[in-house]
Amino acid sequence: MPQTFSAAIANPVHSALNELPQNVLQELYDFAEFLLLKHKPIEKKHPTFGCMKGMLKYMSDDFNEPLEDFKEYM
């Protein structure tokens, strides 16, 4: 829920807004919308089973074979 302003802040802001031309008010509104989106909490999506299905296009035929680099350890 948005935080409310105290009268000490709201009155000067309201007075300043009344003096701005329409095009600047629109710019101010657009900026306020941007700030709201920027600080909106991000919902993390958890991966579901099978979500990567079809993403792997190629796998080498010797994928499960031991690597040459590890032969001395085997």
Interval 32-71: pLDDT, tens: 999 999 999 888 888 899 888 888 888 888 889 888 888 8
Asked if 20 and 28 count as a contact pair (C-beta separation under 8 A), the reply is yes
What's the confidence (pLDDT) of residue 25?
94
Query: Is 35 contained in some domain?
Result: yes
Q: Of 27, 36, 33, 31, whose CA–CA distance to 1 is shortest?
A: 36
Query: Is 26 contained in some domain?
Result: yes
What's the confidence (pLDDT) of residue 45?
87
Query: Is 25 contained in some domain?
Result: yes
Range of the domain at 40: 7-73
> Residue 3's pLDDT band (boundaries 50, 70, 90)?
low
> Residue 11's pLDDT band (boundaries 50, 70, 90)?
confident
Query: Is 27 contained in some domain?
Result: yes
CA distances from 60 to 37, 45, 69 (A): 44, 31, 17
Q: Number of structural domains, the chain?
A: 1
Query: Is 1 contained in some domain?
Result: no
Query: Is 37 contained in some domain?
Result: yes
